[in-house]
Amino acid sequence: MTDFQKKLQKYAELAVKVGVNLKEKESILITGNEATLPLVRLITAEAYKAGAKNIEFMLTDEDMTIARYENGRDYVFEEYPQWKIDAIEAMYIDGYQHMAVIATNPDLLKNIDSELVGKDSKVRSTATYPLMAYRMNGFTKWTIVAMPSEAWATKVFPEATPDEAIGLLWENIFTATRIDQEDPVAAWQKHNAFLKDKEAFLTSKQFEKLVYKGPGTDLEVYLGINHTWEGGASESTKGVDFMPNMPTEEVFTTPHYKKVNGTLKATKPLSYQGKLVEDFGFTFKDGKVVDYYAARGKEVLDNLVNTDDGSCYLGEVAIVPFDSPISNTGILFSNTLFDENASCHFALGMSYSKTFENGQNLSKEELEKLGANDSKIHVDFMVGSEELEITAYTKDGEAFKLFEKGNWAF
């Protein structure tokens, strides 16, 4: 077995044992495209070794996706098959955990009409909305892991040959997920403990608001009432830890969706709906996006902020130091899973119920009173830089420096 094969085996094991933290007789729904098959096969084997009851793989194909957009008639994009929603919901209820294995193509839909993509995305988001709650409140354990596709690798390393680019991207994925360390599981346990320390401190402080300052950014963000912070592993409703994102470097909570004011400038492109949005920013008033701009891909933002009533409000605020493993690579991954863990970020759309005290047991109406946003989407975008300053304020007006020059100040 080559060194690469050993690392790939460790990666599959990590996804099962740390990602979804599979328990005996649990099942997994794995979703991925045609490029993910080599890793999915290894994950399947590791899952059965760990005592899995059943593995289901839902496959998509990029060529078939393009064929649908280029050749599908109008009625193709008017509804999403209900049986797909019913099938996934039935699996969640039956105790299936969800693992998304991604091998993205950031420019997959660059030549497809944005209005059509937006319409299709809105229909899909509306249909799949009931499924989000299972994952976002911790009923279903879930994780996202990535592997290179040729399109993604050559986007990240355009000067390299396709084979070289794939090799370089694998190397960086292994580093970001701690596979290059002797005992990746132990390394993740240590990393999780560090994030939990930050989580506990921030939750204990119950800051009323955060103020962000940086180039193009001057933003006041009030936090949700009785908010809690999350970092590293999440806890399922059954009290079992799982790691939603691999890699992860963030601690996050919920902003009060009606109490955000000022300007916010993104520091990295956003890959969304198979298109890239570059050099963009937002203006918020009483929580709502009232203005926005983009040097490229503004039509994507048009679709995003108009998806539903909640898609123009914030649902997450996340803190990631500029001096972090992924950021220190200096690589723009053009993939949210990696770029959001190299940078402080926000998300437009749905809030996590689990970032409120006893939030998993509260109704939608009760969460809204605490400041939680409701939407059919949840889309992260990056705002971190070495110039970012974040000051937290207590309810008594006492200032506490959280971030200085892009890094933790405490």
Sheet (strand 142-146) strand order:
55-60, 27-33, 96-102, 142-146
92 and 220 co-located in one domain: no
Say how far apart CA 392 and CA 402 lie, in whole Å.
Answer: 6
Q: Which of 123, 156, 176 is the last residue of a domain?
A: 176
Q: Is the dihedral of CA 92, 97, 102, 106 positive or negative?
A: positive
The pLDDT of residue 274: 84
Q: Which amino acid belongs to residue 331?
A: I
Inter-residue contact 310 to 375 (CB < 8 Å): yes
Mean pLDDT estimate for the chain: 96
Q: Are residues 392 and 345 in the same domain?
A: yes
What does the DSSP assignment read for 38-89?
HHHHHHHHHHHHTT-S-EEEEEE-HHHHHHHHHH--GGGGS---HHHHHHHH
**Res. 338 pLDDT band, cuts 50 70 90:** very high
Looking at the fold, whether 394 and 261 belong to one and the same domain comes out as: yes
**What tens digit of pLDDT does each residue of 4-37 get?**
999 999 999 999 999 999 999 999 999 999 999 9
The answer to whether residue 83 is domain-embedded is yes
> Does a structural domain hold residue 26?
yes
Dist. CA 405–CA 410, nearest whole Å: 12
- The one-letter amino acid code at 294 reads A
Note whether residue 371 is domain-resident: yes
**Predicted confidence band of residue 410 (pLDDT cuts 50, 70, 90):** confident
Residue 393, in any domain of the structure = yes
DSSP 132-192: HHHHHTTSS-EEEEE---HHHHHHH-TTS-HHHHHHHHHHHHHHHTTTTSS-HHHHHHHHH
How far apart CA 29 and CA 134 sit, in angstroms, is 13
Q: Is residue 305 part of a domain?
A: yes
- What confidence score (pLDDT) does residue 375 get? 97
Q: In terms of pTM, does the model score above 0.95?
A: no
Instruction: Give the pLDDT confidence of 65-80 residue by residue, as tens digits.
Output: 999 999 999 999 999 9
Q: Band of the pLDDT at 360, cuts 50, 70, 90?
A: confident
pLDDT in tens, 280-335: 999 999 999 999 999 999 999 999 999 999 999 999 999 999 988 899 898 999 99
The number of C-alpha atoms within 13 Å of 246 and in the hemisphere containing its C-beta is: 34
Structural domain includes residue 186: no
User: What's the domain count of the chain?
Assistant: 2
Q: Do 137 and 211 belong to one domain? A: no
Omega before 247 within 30 of 0, i.e. cis: yes
Q: What is the pLDDT of residues 78-106, one digit of tens each?
A: 999 999 999 999 999 999 999 999 999 99
Whole-angstrom Cα distance, residue 30 to residue 53? 14
Residues 153 and 246 in one domain: no
Classify residue 307: in a domain, yes or no: yes
Q: List, for residues 177-233, the tens digit of each pLDDT value.
A: 999 999 999 999 999 999 999 999 999 999 999 999 999 999 999 999 999 999 999
> Exposure string (b/e) for 97-113, b if CB count within 10 Å is 16 or more?
bbbbbbbbbbebbeebe
222 near 255, Cβ under 8 Å? yes
- How high is the pLDDT of residue 325? 86
Determine whether 225 is exposed, middle or buried from the number of CB atoms within 10 Å of its CB (0-12, 13-18, 19+).
middle
Same domain, 247 and 390: yes
CA–CA dist 361, 135 (Å, integer): 14
Q: Tell me the per-residue pLDDT of 229-284, one tens digit each, with 9 for 90 and over.
A: 999 999 999 999 999 999 999 999 999 999 999 999 999 999 898 888 999 999 99
CB neighbours (10 Å) of residue 331?
17
Which residue range forms the structural domain that includes residue 72?
Answer: 3-176
Q: Is 54:60 a contact under the CB 8 Å cutoff?
A: no
Residue 183 within a domain: no
Query: How far is it, in rounded angstroms, from Cα 240 to Cα 262?
Result: 39
CATH no. for residue 81? 3.40.1830.10
Tell me the pLDDT band of 155, cut-offs 50, 70 and 90.
Answer: very high
Shared domain for 229 and 351, answered yes or no, is: yes
CA angle 324, 183, 230 (to 5 degrees): 45
Identity of the amino acid at 275: K
Tokens read off for 165: 């680019």
Q: Pick from 17, 57, 22: which is nearest to 37 by CA?
A: 57
- Shared domain for 342 and 238, answered yes or no, is yes
216 and 138 together in one domain: no
